[in-house]
Chain A
Amino acid sequence: MNDGAIVMGIDEVCAKIKNILDMYLENADREELSGDADLSDWGVDSISFIQTIVDIEAQFGIEIPDECLLMEKMGTVNKMTDIIYRLINENIA
């Protein structure tokens, strides 16, 4: 059931996630942030992590399960992208 989730490709999902993270990265250039970079090394702490999650949920029209709200599971752009992309497609199905 589509609960407001938006159809988009995985590259677009990744780009939007980087846009959101850009607000919370300290002294970082979004373009330099690689997909496998540890976000905590780029200034994302537990506070900005949850702020990012809330913004992501609003941006993509999804709800991220509590069990995914861990830096171990979503601590890189690639990990975030994979989970968000999966959730978007589950929402659309």
Chain B
Amino acid sequence: MGKMREHHIGIVVRDMEESRWVFSCLGYHPCTEVTEDIYQHNKILFLEDGQDSNRIELIEPLDEASTVRNVRPGMHHICYEVEDSFLDEFKAMKIGKIFSSIYIAPALEGRKVMFACLRGGMFVEFLEKELDCRE
């Protein structure tokens, strides 16, 4: 694996069951169970399209402490799986700002994630590589 690889697109939804149905009409099916993320206070469900394995993450706020409680429904972020060394390189690029602390992602086998905002306003999530893919 190179330094980074697209992992999924995160989409904020207000009704996860309805959104699950909407995306099933587009050929997506769940590849995880619905998970309660106690760190970011969100319900999470991953879907895949079954062909090129394009993956999307549905994010529904759980409560007032949700990290997306005041975010409009729709596309929220692109997630990239990255090497540990990539974060220093990203900071040196000066193309955006890491604004979150490190979160544990229960829906992603407890791997660590953090969020950055790129110039122009796009949000990205950096996900640590799977353990068995690391050198």
Task: Give the contact-size bracket for chain A.
Answer: 10 to 19
Q: Could you tell me if A55 and B119 are in contact, using CB atoms closer than 8 angstroms?
A: yes
Report the number of A-B residue pairs with Cβ-Cβ less than 8 Å.
25
Q: Could you tell me if B71 and A53 are in contact, using CB atoms closer than 8 angstroms?
A: no
For B119, the chain A residues whose CB sits under 8 A away are: 54-55, 58
Number of interface residues of B (CB under 8 A): 10
- Given the contacts A57-B97, A69-B99, A51 and B117 also touching, CB distance less than 8 Å: yes
Residue of B70, B71, B118 touching A54 (CB-CB under 8 A): B118
For A47, the chain B residues whose CB sits under 8 A away are: 70-71, 123
Q: Which residue of A lies closest to B118 (CB)?
A: A54
For A55, the chain B residues whose CB sits under 8 A away are: 119, 121
Chain B interfacial positions (CB closer than 8 Å to A):
70-71, 96-97, 99, 117-119, 121, 123
Could you give 23 example pairs across A and B, Cβ below 8 Å? Answer: A45-B70, A45-B71, A47-B71, A47-B123, A50-B97, A50-B99, A50-B117, A51-B117, A51-B121, A53-B97, A53-B99, A53-B117, A54-B96, A54-B97, A54-B117, A54-B118, A54-B119, A54-B121, A55-B119, A55-B121, A57-B97, A58-B119, A69-B99
